[in-house]
Structure 1
Amino acid sequence: MEWSCQRPTTSDQEVLVSHANAALTPRHRLRLARLIVEQDYSIVSAARMFNVSWPTAKRWADRYATMGPDGMDDRSSRPHRMPAKTPQEQVRKVVHLRWKKRLGPVAIGARLGMTSSTVHAVLTRCHLNKLHHVDVRTGEVVRRYEHATPGSLIHVDVKKLALLT
């Protein structure tokens, strides 16, 4: 069984929204950068006009000079790489021990030589941090049905079949 524990993504494009009290929205960043780059305002005087620090004004002016108006948009703060990320092989081992042995983070960490907090973070990321998420008999993730209207029924045909050996 191949197990991959990825975060759910709704789209490839991350939605970024400026908060209500932001000093510089993308439109104001563009105005600030154009004052400095195109109209030769000093960085300090432009920063005072827009009520921001001079390093902030310089950052937006430099980005405008290199990237143009497209550089004024918000960017994700997510790191480009994570060198301390738990290797996928370790994640598989953690998930396997949780499913098959029903062990907790401390016991799994002791077996694999990992800290219990890291094991808990992996289990949370994989939605296995609570044992009631896992079926007691089969060890599979419990699948629940959600319906649009309360009281709607679902028909489940359950038969007990004997295995002949």
Structure 2
Amino acid sequence: MNTHKNARLTYLRRLEMVQAITERGASAPDAAASHGVSAVTARKWLARYLADGAAGLLDKSSRLEKSPRAIERHVALAIVELRRKLYLQARIASYMGVSRATVSRVLRRAGLSRLSDLRPDEPVQRYERDNPGELLHIDIKKLGRFDKVGHRISGDRTQRARNVGWDFVFVAVDDHSRLAFTRVYPDETKLSAQAFLRAAVGYFASMGVTIERVLTDNGMSFRSGLFAEVCLELGIGQKFTRAYRPQTNGNAERFIQSALREWAYGDAYANSGQRRAALPQWNHFYNWHRSHHGINRVAPVSRLSMSRKNLLTLHN
């Protein structure tokens, strides 16, 4: 029972009122007056008490017992079963003798509005290369530049920076170790892509890792002849993700999520230049100090096939 704060009659007060009428012979108007309600209200609760006993004095739902527009349960179940047999909505409506809107409403509630909802989920396929450098995931994240604290920090969307431009964050993540390399470029052209690949290969070489293959999406910069020539020059094989399957490049996608949360939106930068300058420091923290759940909660650098002495030298 959920009695509102201004209610004159709680369950116990209703019971007292009807008992005053039935057991002590009080009239309905007198009992009503002593409880601060009208005689009509007293007779209403008396009628419920006589029909259903004390249980009749409990609050009832205000919902109608039967709605003329409500669909029967067996009809709703039949609609869902027909949908599972790949029937189109129009055909279901005609077959069941109901409107298309009714069919649409039932299927929406059942989560079967689209035929694709009937397809079984693709099994999650997880893999990991055996050694560092066997596969390097490369991706790009586009971030808007700004010249003042953004609305994510201030909460004031009227003060958003406009027409400032974009930063393109190129990321490269080693499949085995999750070691990452990042750089920010003013565009995502083939020139920036090939420059980033050269820089990434140089960085990983400094960490004792030789890159054998790279995996990218199907963007124009990665599909360009220039990028292919650089891969050939560096002796690197090139692979592309499946169309409309960003999860194929999952390591880079996951790294970008962490970078956005902990670096890009993790502090109140005065401008995008300040944000850009903070990236190398966060990238160092990610590689050397941040535990990674995908590799048993160790830092990526710990999975490199280098001696501890060499690693300490690089870190210093």
TM-score scaled to structure 2, two decimals? 0.30
Q: Find 2:10's aligned residue among 25, 32, 40.
A: 25
- Deviation, 1:79, is 6.6
Q: Find 2:31's aligned residue among 46, 60, 85.
A: 46
Q: Find 2:58's aligned residue among 59, 65, 73.
A: 73
Asked if 2 retains the 8 angstrom alpha-carbon contact of 1:99 and 1:134, the reply is no
Across the two proteins, how many residue pairs are aligned to each other? Answer: 122
**Structure with greater strand percent:** 2
Matched, 1:123 2:98: no
* Residues 67 and 95 (structure 1), Cα distance of their counterparts in 2 relative to 1, 3 Å cut: closer
Post-superposition Cα deviations, 1:12-56, rounded to whole Å, max 9, x if no partner, equal xxxx43333333211110111122222222212322332333232
**Structure with greater helix percent:** 2
- Deviation, 1:102, is 6.6
- 1:86 corresponds to: 72
d(CA) in 2 for partners of 1:29 and 1:56? 10
- Deviation, 1:123, is 2.8
Post-superposition Cα deviations, 1:82-102, rounded to whole Å, max 9, x if no partner, equal 8975252x3343113433437
SS at match of 1:101: coil
* Residues 103 and 69 (structure 1), Cα distance of their counterparts in 2 relative to 1, 3 Å cut: same
- 2:137 corresponds to: none
Asked if 2 retains the 8 angstrom alpha-carbon contact of 1:63 and 1:71, the reply is yes
Runs of 4+ in 1 over 6 A off after TM superposition: 78-84
Asked if 2 retains the 8 angstrom alpha-carbon contact of 1:37 and 1:65, the reply is no
- Deviation, 1:63, is 3.7
* Residues 53 and 122 (structure 1), Cα distance of their counterparts in 2 relative to 1, 3 Å cut: farther
2:100 alignment partner AA? S
- 1:9 corresponds to: none
Matched, 1:55 2:40: yes
Q: Give the share of equivalent positions with the same residue, in percent.
A: 33
Asked if 2 retains the 8 angstrom alpha-carbon contact of 1:30 and 1:72, the reply is yes
Post-superposition Cα deviations, 1:118-155, rounded to whole Å, max 9, x if no partner, equal 32443355x236449924x34x8xxxxxxxxxxx89xx
d(CA) in 2 for partners of 1:91 and 1:129? 12
Asked if 1 retains the 8 angstrom alpha-carbon contact of 2:86 and 2:115, the reply is no
d(CA) in 1 for partners of 2:88 and 2:115? 13
d(CA) in 2 for partners of 1:30 and 1:60? 9
- 1:113 corresponds to: 97
- 2:19 corresponds to: 34
Q: Higher relative contact order by CA 8 Å / sep ≥ 6: 1 or 2?
A: 1
